[in-house]
Amino acid sequence: MTSAPQKTQAIDIDFREMSGAWQAPAPDALPELPLLQVQNLGFGYPVPAPWPWQTATQRTVLHDVSFTLQMGRSIGIVGASGAGKSTLARLLMGLLSPSRGGVRLLGRPPLHTLHATALRQARCHMQMVFQDPYSSLNPRQRIAQIVTEPLRGLGQPISRPEQRAQAAQVLAQVGLPASALDQYPHQFSGGQRQRIAIARALITKPLLVVADEPVSALDVSVQAQVLNLLLDVQQQHGLGYVLISHDLAVVQHLCDEVLVLDQGQVVERGTPQALFSNPQHPCTRALLDAVPQMDPGRARRQQTLRQRMAAAVGENPPLP
């Protein structure tokens, strides 16, 4: 993607009053600031000691991951299952504390050093979209309650009618009617549920959206619609995306830069075009081989072969 400079001009943020340790930068300063700085990030899950007299250890699943995301740009994280992508997503959101390095939002102190109130304030600007729209939406709640849930986490009282009006507005942005507000998740298809999940992420007007495998649970025909929606939203609001996927084809159209993660390490990085045309690392090549390729020439060759075989035995050619 090369049209990012225009995206940043479209920033439209309802800047909230911030207090405490996390001071929001002035809106004028925003385009100059790096949205997200990930510096030498390392993380290990604790492994309990088998015996009480032994000390607990750690299983390191992320090693020294660094990247910077500018406002309005998109970065893709790709890797096979178990590479550490979801762990990285949780670290970016400040849901886990790194064992090494840190994550800075808008140049402020690392998220894991903030106290709870400041972290909550920082989180106004970042939201997450999860993989499975079936399990990420509470089946017992109406869409109005689901979509407005992040507003209640902001710690600012917003009246019910105002919350509902904001919910209707974000639903319209993702192409759903306001009548959806009174319905339940089971009344929607997978693609519509993921639209609802995206609406929930947009309601706080975040600057950053971390989407962990946002289309993996959807039919291929619906995947493109949801990816196009993410692209439209970005062009409208100048959001930054961290788009996580095991599928290089998913990040190809949306991301300015792609990082290939293998066993917790960044093994290759570059533009999607460079990775597709000239992959260097075996892991990138393996991911590329997994992308289904359209090869009409191959189908034609197979057909000709069948016809020649049929002609050789004097029969009608079988249907392709």
Ligand X SMILES: Nc1ncnc2c1ncn2[C@@H]1O[C@H](COP(=O)(O)OP(=O)(O)O)[C@@H](O)[C@H]1O
* Best CA proximity match to 130, nearest among 119, 146, 114, 116: 146
Task: Output DSSP code: residue 254.
Answer: T
Shorter beta-carbon distance to ligand X: residue 244 or 254: 244
- C-beta separation of 214 from 225 below 8 A: no
Torsion of CA 280, 286, 287, 289, to 10 degrees: 110
Quote the CA–CA distance of 263 and 61 in Å, as a whole number: 7
CB of 236 to ligand X, least distance (A): 29
Comparing C-alpha atoms, which of 2, 26, 4, 5 is closest to residue 15? Answer: 26
In the bound complex, what is the minimum distance in angstroms from residue 86's beta carbon to ligand X? 3
The full 3-state SS of 199-253, as one line of letters, equals HHHHCCCCCEEEEECCCCCCCHHHHHHHHHHHHHHHHHHCCEEEEEECCHHHHHC
Q: Which is nearer to Mg ion, 86 or 303 (CB)?
A: 86
Binding site for Mg ion (CB under 5 A): 85-86
Residue 39 CB, nearest approach to ligand X (Å) = 19
Pick what 271 binds: Mg ion, ligand X, none; C-beta below 5 to 8 Å, kind-dependent. none
Q: How far is the CB of 230 from Mg ion (least distance, A)?
A: 18
Place of tokens 């599928």: 247
61 binds, among ligand X, Mg ion, none (CB under 5 to 8 A by kind): ligand X
Q: Which of 7, 85 has the CB closer to Mg ion?
A: 85
Q: Which two tokens stand for residue 84?
A: 């550490």
Binding at 231: pick from Mg ion, ligand X, none (beta carbon under 5-8 Å per type) = none
Q: How far apart are CA 289 and CA 279, in angstroms?
A: 11
Residues that bind ligand X (CB under 6 A): 45, 61, 79, 81-87
Shortest Å distance, C-beta 176 to Mg ion: 27
Residue 85 CB, shortest distance to Mg ion, in Å, is 5
Nearer to ligand X, 54 or 81 (CB): 81
Of 96 and 239, which has the nearer Cβ to ligand X? 96
Q: What size, in residues, is the chain?
A: 320
Q: How far is CA 299 from the centre of its chain?
A: 35
Which partner, ligand X, Mg ion, none, binds residue 83 by CB below 5 to 8 Å per kind?
ligand X
Q: Which does 87 bind (CB under 5 to 8 A by kind): Mg ion, ligand X, none?
A: ligand X
